[in-house]
Amino acid sequence: MPVSPLTALVTCDIMDQHPTLPSCDTQFRLFGRKRAIAGQIRTVKVFEDNTFIRQVLSEPGQGGVLVVDAAASLHCAVVGDMIAKLAQDNGWSGIIVYGAIRDSEQIDAMDFCVKALGTNPRKSGKNSLGLIDVPVTFGNVRFVPGQYLYSDADGIVVSEQALVL
């Protein structure tokens, strides 16, 4: 059986080989059975509204990673199990949420990866407020659409080009 390149993905090894790459200082909680992800970055910038998150994840993901800058709000969740399932079904590698999610136990049972600051059972608004595919910054890293993200239990690394793993 062939081994997936993500099986061997270790952000520590990436940083050892490429010590000048940015690594995210923000500490995230890891949800889902899939523990390592890699893919091209897409971004959404929102505040307590998940309309544009659903919109982007409804598109074919082609193995990409959606980075959501939810302004570190833990007041409500911008991703839940239905949005995570939508992303999984559309071929996304995973979702990084600089904010809160909900349905964490259901997401933990999925063969998918979501990283978030925490959880809150409260739903987000649906006001179509936010921005799609703009650079976002948190944890001393600038996440730029089209760049590449590598993530596992130890952290998140970003590169302008795809890395040979």
Count the domains in the chain: 1
- Provide the residue range defining the domain that includes 102: 5-12+26-155
Residues found in the chain: 165
- Does the pLDDT of residue 117 top 90, yes or no? yes
Residue 44 domain-assigned (yes or no): yes
**Residue 1, annotated ligand binder?**
no
**Residue 102, annotated ligand binder?**
yes
The predicted model scores a pTM of 0.94
Per-residue pLDDT tens over the stretch 26-58: 999 999 999 999 999 999 999 999 999 999 999
- Does the pLDDT of residue 162 top 70, yes or no? yes
First to last CA, the chain: 19
**Residue 82, annotated ligand binder?**
yes
Q: Cα(45)–Cα(134) distance, rounded to whole angstroms?
A: 7
Residue 163 domain-assigned (yes or no): no
Query: For position 26, what pLDDT does the model report?
Result: 98
**Residue 83, annotated ligand binder?**
yes
- Does the pLDDT of residue 157 top 70, yes or no? yes
**Residue 69, annotated ligand binder?**
no
